[in-house]
Amino acid sequence: MITVAVLTMSDKGSRGEREDLSGPEITEMMGKINAEVKYNEIMPDEKELIKQKLIFYSTKADLIITTGGTGLSPRDVTPDATLEVIDRQVPGIAEAMRAGGMSKTNRAMLSRTVAGVRGNTLIVNLPGSPKAVREGLGIILDIIPHAVEKIKGDASDCAPAPEGP
């Protein structure tokens, strides 16, 4: 079973002024891939705090999914914090989510989502709206188990064996 930490970046949510709808959406979708959300936090859009939480949860979870703080406003710092703590980027994940989002709205090109690996943990940034979470996570959901297996050292081939003649 994949263990998951969900971190919601929302100034209003962290003050109790807005209900978090994206975190529960992520939790529901994780059930489709036999992943369990063990940790769930709502925090303000503070870069140093986000970095601390990413570092902390990377020692506890196989997967960290963040939601919120991926846009262009001055308080949107989640990708910046993520880039400062990951060891390696996995650009194809973010590229796939942006490309899939572009089929629905050209505003998807404004998303600054990042994905990467810290230690043995995959970290994926998602936008903050439940609709964007459903769409973005829906695009990458099937590859998450394989990615986690590889990060943890699975040495099997990634490509399926070719079929015989």
Q: Residue-wise pLDDT tens for the chain (165 aa)? A: 999 999 999 999 999 999 999 999 999 999 999 999 999 999 999 999 999 999 999 999 999 999 999 999 999 999 999 999 999 999 999 999 999 999 999 999 999 999 999 999 999 999 999 999 999 999 999 999 999 999 999 877 766 656 666
What are 102's two structure tokens?
Answer: 């572009």
Picking from 68, 63, 65, 91, the residue whose alpha carbon sits closest to that of residue 78 is 68
As given in the structure block, the two tokens for residue 80 are 């910046």
Amino acid at 103: S
Backbone φ and ψ of 134, nearest 5°: -55, -45
Beta strands in the chain (DSSP E): 2-9, 35-43, 63-67, 88-89, 115-118, 121-126
State pTM to two decimals: 0.93
Q: DSSP alpha helices (H): ranges in 31-129?
A: 47-57, 78-85, 91-102
Structural domains in the chain, sorted by start = 2-151 (3.40.980.10)
